[in-house]
Amino acid sequence: MVTADLVIVRANESGGEREAPLCGLGELHSKEKPTLGGTRIKTRKRNIAAPLDPAAFADAVVQIYLDNAGDLELIAKSIEPSDLNFSRYGDTFFEVIFTGGRTQPGTTKPDEGERHPYSILESEAKREVILPFVIYIQKILRRRPFLIKNLENVMRKFLQSLELFEENERKKLAIFTALAFSQKLSGLPPETVLQPLLKDNLVAKGLVLSFMTEFFKEYLIDNSLDDLISILKRGKVEDNLLDFFPSAKRSAEGFSEHFTKEGLLALVEYNEKKMFEVKLKEIKTALTSLIAEEADVSEVIDTVKQRVKDAKFPEIEVVRMLWDVIMDAVQWSGKNQQQNANSALRQVKTWAELLNTFCTNGKLQLELMYKIQIQCYEDAKLMKLFPEIVRSLYDQDVLAEDTILHWFRKGTNPKGRQIFVKSLEPFITWLEEAEEEE
């Protein structure tokens, strides 16, 4: 059987035509279709998201705990090379650390799935037991610093739900929180941890006070009160320490009684000083307004008496405060020293009766002299006015002769003393001569 061949007619070089076979039919069908070299066939991209499966992630982490029998060193080494998706399931990871497994979304209740018995909440409520967990988390965060946000999320969730934990579990959370700040756990921000505690229902039940008491006691074992105050400031709770107390116990007396009983005397002293400064600022503001308005001296005296009684101010502090308020109200004129001197002395004379009302004995008068001495030493505008101020207060019966002589002969404050003793000598000589004449 003859097989026909395909032919193609091509012009030859002489202009004629010639036939050339192309290929057989069978050969044509056996050839592959040609493609253009270097050309990539484009396909439509599809966004195929990995399925959200925190349960499987939790099971995998739990298995690592079980395989290493809770040994945190070995667990950290096993986690390091793993390909677990920590960026997606960071919250779940810390839930496993704290509770031994995954918690139900939005709660602290255990979810279905594997669990391990080596969690923080299953451990003993002792610092030496919980500290290794803090160090372990620190190692994890150094490798994966982005997980700090997930730690914040989980801690915030747990602290906002304190009522769902047993008392012993709340104590463990408090110890962990204190140790986390003590170890400076990868920049854990205090405000995101402490602020969630200030929920009305938690405070009313006394849970916040109990938590913070354990937190304070634990933190102060290794750190100073100044370190603690720094954390409270960054947590924006330094000025609201009473807000940790249920409303029925929310008082300065209640604060002192509670923390004295718990052995935190340094914190009690700090709070008393803090509250004193707040009340002092309030009374200074009120008196400054009255003096600026040139209120009657008797009205100012009544205001001071009432506020001092309410705030239970020590007498010495009242004297110091009154002098500050009086001098703050002086209208300084700038570089004109004589005008400054006249303004200061006029102010002293105007409010001498106010000072006299509260400088009721030699001890308080001497305290006023020390206060004047320090201010004149620290303020160049008043440096040369010391003897004139003392003389003016003597003339107004605010300072007694015995007080002035005692300061001159036995004064103990060294600030500018040599200068002021010398400048006061003429007045002292006059006093001594007058005394001899009498």
Measure the CA–CA gap between 108 and 113, rounded to whole angstroms: 15
Query: Could you report the per-residue pLDDT of 44-82, keeping only the tens digit for each?
Result: 444 433 335 888 899 999 999 999 999 999 999 999 888
pLDDT, one tens digit per residue, over 399-411 is 999 999 999 999 8
Cβ atoms of 172 and 121 closer than 8 Å: yes
Rounded CA gap, 423 and 421, in Å?
6
Cα gap 325→291, rounded to integer Å: 8
Q: Which residue has the higher pLDDT, 1 or 227?
A: 227
First to last CA, the chain: 164
Full-model pTM: 0.71
Query: 189 near 232, Cβ under 8 Å?
Result: no
pLDDT digits over 151-205, tens only?
999 999 999 999 999 999 999 999 999 999 999 887 788 988 888 899 999 999 9
Sorting pLDDT into bands at 50, 70 and 90, what band is 304? Answer: very high
Q: How confident is the model at residue 331 (pLDDT cuts 50, 70, 90)?
A: confident
Q: Phi/psi at 48 (nearest 5 deg)?
A: -100, 100
Strand partners, 11: 17
- State residue 191's pLDDT score: 87
In degrees, rounded to 5, the angle at the alpha carbon of residue 16 between the alpha carbons of residues 12 and 21 is 55
Burial class (CB in 10 A: 0-12, 13-18, 19+), 214: buried
Q: Is 256 helix (H, G, I), strand (E, B) or coil?
A: helix
